[in-house]
Amino acid sequence: MRYDDVELGDDLPTEHPDISMEKITQFVVAANMNFPRFTDHDFARTEGLPGALVPGIMSQGLLAAMIHRWAPGCQVRTLDTVFRAPLVVGTTPTITGAVTDTDDDARTAELDLTVVGEDGRTAVLGTAIVAFAD
């Protein structure tokens, strides 16, 4: 995707990222946040949660990876996320993006982003500003 090909309202290709326990474990080690609420379903349930949870900032990473596939070589300038509901490890979420604004001078696009759990609830809402490689 090049900037000149971007249209307001374009949807990014929807993805269903892998949030298996293996991936979450890899993430929490890299992010130095290896807490059992992220890696142990039984422990998380004792905290009143529906199961081990995907860290909110990992959702940012899933969204960024989707953006990089959509516009290879782009730079994500800002990524703003609101954590709305739990996303349980081992489920199948759906992540989406749509172009909500463009800036011809800066050659950037603004995106609305969502992470929706397999129960249909929106787990994360976000926006991003992306600068295109060409």
CA–CA separation, 124 and 18 (whole Å): 16
Q: C-alpha angle 75/83/44, rounded to 5°?
A: 120
Residue 48 beta carbon to other proteins: minimum distance, rounded to whole angstroms:
7
Residue 120 beta carbon to other proteins: minimum distance, rounded to whole angstroms:
13
CA–CA separation, 124 and 66 (whole Å): 14
Residue 37 interacts with other proteins (CB under 8 A): yes or no: yes
Residue 65 interacts with other proteins (CB under 8 A): yes or no: yes
Token pair 């199948």: residue: 92
**Among 5-13, 63-71, 96-104, 110-118, which window interacts with other proteins (CB under 8 A)?**
63-71
CA–CA separation, 19 and 53 (whole Å): 10
Residue 1 interacts with other proteins (CB under 8 A): yes or no: no
Residue 4 interacts with other proteins (CB under 8 A): yes or no: no
Count interface residues toward other proteins (CB under 8 A).
Answer: 45
Looking at the Cβ atoms of 50 and 90, the one nearer to other proteins is 50
CA–CA separation, 78 and 120 (whole Å): 26
CA–CA separation, 15 and 70 (whole Å): 11
Residue 2 interacts with other proteins (CB under 8 A): yes or no: no
Q: C-alpha angle 76/111/64, rounded to 5°?
A: 40
Residues lying near other proteins in the complex (CB under 8 A) are found at 15, 17-18, 23-24, 26-27, 29-33, 35, 37-38, 48-50, 53, 55-58, 60-62, 64-65, 68-69, 72-73, 75-86, 124
